[in-house]
Amino acid sequence: MSAISLAALGMSACDTTKDDSAKWSPERLYTEAKEEASAGAYEKAIKLYERLEGRAAGTVLAQQAQLERAWLLWKTAEPAQALSTLERFLKLHPTSPAYDYALYLQGLINFNDNIGFLGALASQDLSERDQQAARDAYQSFRQLVERFPQSSYAEDARLRMNYIVNSLAAYEVHVARYYYRRGAYIAAANRAQQAVLEFQKSPSVEEALYIMIQSYDRLGLTQLRDDADRVLRTTFPNTKVYANGLGNKQTPWWQPW
């Protein structure tokens, strides 16, 4: 058989497979997609789920396919597409029984894109990264906790919210420290004050107050300096920040409150 004949036979086989899958029932499409995903053939599974969404539009099965496709898109390093899929799901299915899971997955994608636990365990300074993804993750987790407090995902969402808040507070202090070390004392004091006002329960507040004290002292604002010092000593009676200086906190910023 010639090479051309073999190629034609191969194309015919592909067309037959494509035609067969096009004729599958929604239930079989879902089963096949699950099997492909379990086998690690994520790209094939994604295509089958996409076909299922159109075939079973308006059904719970289509909703499930949409969510599982979003998860696979994330796993195949396509977080933007995954988030877009989830955003569409949340808009189209506000009463879905899987709405809490969609919020959780949305938060999880942004969370791991910016401040995953593995990064913290590897001692990366995650507070120095851009924090927009962290803020987006926080909003998703907050909606989940507020709307579905009894959800099986709510407790994990709360833990991640605490982690995110500590990260955001540490980021503000990181920026304030940067300004202070470059002699921009007004900017340093303002950024540190923002951390104190927004994240009152975070461990980073201790250093934020110290930066305020030092900045006000350099600016000759003795009253503001003394006020900040009084708050620091009242809130953290055992503080060692005066001895440790900038950037030498005893408590890692990623620890929960």
Taking only the tens place, the pLDDT of each residue in 210-228 is 999 999 999 999 999 999 9
Handedness of CA 183, 185, 189, 191 (dihedral sign): negative
Per-residue pLDDT, 245? 78
Per-residue pLDDT, 250? 43
Closest among 226, 124, 240 to 174, alpha carbons compared: 124
| pTM as predicted | 0.75
Per-residue pLDDT, 129? 58
Per-residue pLDDT, 179? 96
Q: What is the pLDDT of residues 48-65, one digit of tens each?
A: 999 999 888 889 999 999
Per-residue pLDDT, 159? 94
Per-residue pLDDT, 243? 84
Per-residue pLDDT, 84? 96
In this structure, what is the dihedral angle of CA atoms 237, 127, 70, 152, given to the nearest 10 degrees? -10
Per-residue pLDDT, 114? 55
Per-residue pLDDT, 142? 97
Per-residue pLDDT, 37? 94
Q: Please identify every stretch of the chain with a pLDDT value under 70, giving residue numbers as ranges.
A: 1-19, 113-130, 247-257
